Amino acid sequence: MGFFIGTDVGGTFTDLWVASDDGQTRVFKSPTTADVLGGVIDAIHLAAEAWGLEFNAFCAQIERFGHGTTVGLNALLTGTAAKTAVLATRGFGDTLEIGRLRRQTSGMNETEFTDAYLRNRFAPLVDRSLVVEIDERINVNGTVVQALDEAQARSELRRLGGLGVEAVAVCTLWSTVNPVHEQRLRLLAQEEIAGVFVSLSHEISPAVGEYARMSTTAANAALGPLAGRYLAKLESTLREAGMRVPVLMMTCSGGVLPTEVLNERPAYALFSGPAGGVMGTLAIGERIGLRNLLTTDIGGTSFDVGVVADGRPIMRSEIALAGADIRVHSIDVDSIGAGGGSIASVSFGELRVGPASAGANPGPACYGRGGLRPTATDADLVLGVLDADHFIGGRMRLDRAAAERAIREQVAEPLGMTVMQAAWGIREVLDSRMADLLRRMTIERGYDPRDFALFANGGAGPSHAWVLAAELGLDSFIVPTAATAVSAFGTGNADLGFTTESPAYLRVRPGAVPPAADLVRVSDALEAAVAEVRRNLALATTASEVRIDRSVSIRFRGQTHHLDVPVAGERFDAAAFSEAAAHFERDYEQLFGRGAAFSRAGYELLSVRAAGRGMLPPPAHATRGDPPQPAGSRKVVFRDADHPVDTAIWRTVYPAAGTVIDGPAIIEFPGQSVVVPPLARATADEHGNLHVNLRGAA
């Protein structure tokens, strides 16, 4: 037997998805442990037991092991990362302090921006007393204006070593154009501080703009010692148990990589959870032939959205983390504070829902853990969407009376509504905020949401999806079989992926073609990026086939906003430039409207990027499922709060192919409830995904 495994370590639960080549697919959840590793091993034990195997026997039959973790993220957020120093160019040591003024407003939501008292929530990633300015300077052309003062650097490094520094981040101005000083500083650091972990900015985040580059390098250095130890322990534990395949880590850009590649670049895996979710959805989309996907995830505190257009996830180049701008090529997952724990309140006769959340503790009023404020989960319970006796597969009993009381006293009575009307109102406000985010992620990028399939993930996703679909004008939505563990599913299904970029600045006047020498410079940068991708993917021996996408970043001269456009050939010659410029204008007009392009401005070419994908053998496809079991009926509100509708309840773990259930119905899985409104029809496909068509059989 062979097992394909995906694991994802979240804040509360460690999820594990398994597909065996005998056609079974299962999801296991185990509480996340403080050392992270324990939760992963516990989850594997659960899986081994389910197949009646010893732990070692199970490990020996693992064909693929994907892994995602928030361990790095948490270390940075809680300040438990390695003691890290920063080496910066003389005169620019306060780059993290000044933080482009953006650090102070980072992490504020749209209701907080106007409150200056809430600014400066996050300290700089590295304290000012551990930032050292080095005598050296390179200019925009890569010319060494002031030579590196090695004696000064050595003496500072010795001092840092004496302070117990474990990691050093080096970020000097224009190292992306001429890395000679950064490279030399690495050697000096290694000579002066035994066993130090060194990150160089031009390697970790090769982009123009010293603040994000320094932040990313500092985060990477701070995580290096920690991530290295964790991954080495995970890898050795599983190897000793008999696993023959490497651990493949999910990265921000959605590809997985062997741990030896990530040891030097832990920042690449900082946001593996959301990336895994989108990759999981993408894998399902590929199996069922869909290329335009909206992936949604509703948890306790946030609503996350990713977009896949024409088979490719929409990417972003920067993410804010712990107040810092982190520049890593990442799947763009946007998020608002809207989830099951979102708190509803009334003041001045107005209803507000979120972004404040009751979280898991004390949690919604119905959890009975001391939470007294009404939340979206309380509303769902009152509306009949949730079953008090069958929440998370019956592992937790909900207090309906407490939910009703909270909604009555804090929402219904102040607004002069019935409890049902108030509960539905909470849902309506929350759902409309979610629909806003979906519109923002599509319409503002020039897409029509009606060209997309909506995927509902997370505990509360499948119960809100019917409203979101209707809001966007869609006929249907899909609940993937692994909806409650989609990130784990993604880590087990993603291909190898490595992306890198390199600055290459060209300024082109209107109507002109760049000189040949400049184009050669761009071509060389592109080739170097491609070579870097190939080198890293080659470290993963399992790759059967490697595909590389090349692209360049272009903008109109004078703008800051750029677009990435693909480059077809290997060299970037005059023809390739013209093609890229034309492509840019087409995309630009799609985004900003016909006639918006202003070619009279000329162009700036900023950087080149190479993204490699190494295909892995796909996991086995499960084929077995069970027919859902009827579990009575209850009254559920669908839009009309005064007239709840008798609704059939079904239960299943994995619906068999061809299952058809007509609405009004609720299909309860362990951990999620799929709401099928009146007139709609849910159909299970051969992989166990539920397709809910709002127009019924049509």
Partner 1 sequence: MSMSPSGAASPGAAAGAAAMNAVTFEVIRNRLVAIAEEMRIALQSVSGSPTVTEASDFFTGLFRPDGSVVSMGFQVSFQAPVSGTVIRHINASPHLKVREGDMFIGNDPFIGALHQNDVQMIGPIHAGGRVIAWAGVQAHQTDVGGMDFASWCPKAKNVFQEGIRIPCVKLLDRGELREDVLEMITTASRLPDALGLDIRAFIATINVARERIADLESRYGADLLEQAMLRMMDSSEARMRARLRELPDGVYRGTDYLEHDGHTNTLYRIAVEITKRGDSLTLDYSGSSPQAPGFINATRAGLMGGACGSILSTLAWDIQWNEGILRTATVVAPDGLICTAQFPAPVGSATVETIWVVSNATMLALNRMLAASPRYRERAQTISDGCMATFNLGGINQFGEPFGLHLMDPLAAGSGAWATRDGVDAGGPITSPVPTVADVERNEQVSPLFYLHRRLAADTGGAGRFRGGLTAEVALTLGGIERAEALVMTHGAEVPNTMGLAGGWPGSTVVQRMGHDAIREGRPHAGGRWEVFGPKPGLMEMTNRDIFSVTWQGGGGWGDPLDRDAQVVARDIERGAITTHVASVIYGVLVRDGVLSVDETTRLRAALRRQRVGDFTTDPARFLTARPIAALTDSLFVARDQRGLHVVSRAGCILASGHSRWREGAVGRTWEKLPPEYCIRLHERLAITTWYCPASGALLAVDVHERGQRAADDVIVELADLERMGNAA
CA distance 229 to 436: 42
Task: Tell the smallest beta-carbon distance from residue 454 to partner 1 (Å).
Answer: 19
Task: Tell the smallest beta-carbon distance from residue 601 to partner 1 (Å).
Answer: 6
Nearer to partner 1, 169 or 488 (CB): 169
Among the listed ranges 136-144, 483-491, 529-537, 684-692, the one in contact with partner 1 (CB under 8 A) is 136-144
**Near partner 1 in 604-663, by CB under 8 A:** 604
The residue from 33, 74, 104, 542 that contacts partner 1 (CB under 8 A) is: 104
Query: Could you say whether residue 558 binds partner 1 (CB under 8 A)?
Result: yes
Residues 422-461, one symbol each (x = binds partner 1 by CB under 8 A, - = not), give --xx--xx--xx--x---x---x-----------------
The residue from 23, 54, 79, 128 that contacts partner 1 (CB under 8 A) is: 128
Nearer to partner 1, 49 or 97 (CB): 97
Nearer to partner 1, 509 or 621 (CB): 509
The residue from 242, 287, 598, 599 that contacts partner 1 (CB under 8 A) is: 598
Residue whose token pair is 């013209």: 578
Nearer to partner 1, 444 or 545 (CB): 444
Q: 562: helix, coil or strand?
A: coil
Strand partners, 28: 16
CA distance 669 to 274: 22
SS (H, E, C) 106-172: CCCCCCCCCCHHHCCCCCCCCCHHHEEEECCEECCCCCEEECCCHHHHHHHHHHHHHCCCCEEEEEC
CA distance 12 to 75: 15
Residues 505-544, one symbol each (x = binds partner 1 by CB under 8 A, - = not), give x-x-x-----------------------------------
Q: How many residues in total does the chain contain?
A: 698
Q: List the Cα angle 361/270/243 in 5-degree steps.
A: 95
Nearer to partner 1, 128 or 369 (CB): 128
Among the listed ranges 109-117, 363-371, 480-488, 528-536, the one in contact with partner 1 (CB under 8 A) is 109-117
Helices (H), 573-638: 574-592
Task: Tell the smallest beta-carbon distance from residue 222 to partner 1 (Å).
Answer: 19
Angle between helical axes of 516-538 and 574-592 (0-180°, round to 10)? 80
Q: Please, which residues have CB within 8 angstroms of residue 3's CB and are 6 or more apart in sequence?
A: 18, 19, 20, 21, 47, 51, 58, 61, 62, 63
**Near partner 1 in 78-97, by CB under 8 A:** 90-95, 97
**Near partner 1 in 335-354, by CB under 8 A:** 346, 348-353
Among the listed ranges 112-120, 275-283, 311-319, 367-375, the one in contact with partner 1 (CB under 8 A) is 112-120
DSSP state letter for 645: E
Task: Tell the smallest beta-carbon distance from residue 128 to partner 1 (Å).
Answer: 5
The count of chain residues that interact with partner 1, using the rule CB under 8 A, is 73
Angle between helical axes of 400-407 and 419-442 (0-180°, round to 10)? 80
Q: Which residues of 538-571 are buried (b: 16+ CB within 10 A; e: fewer)?
A: eebeebeebebbbbbbbbbeeeeebbbbebeeee
CA distance 73 to 66: 18
**Near partner 1 in 487-506, by CB under 8 A:** 505
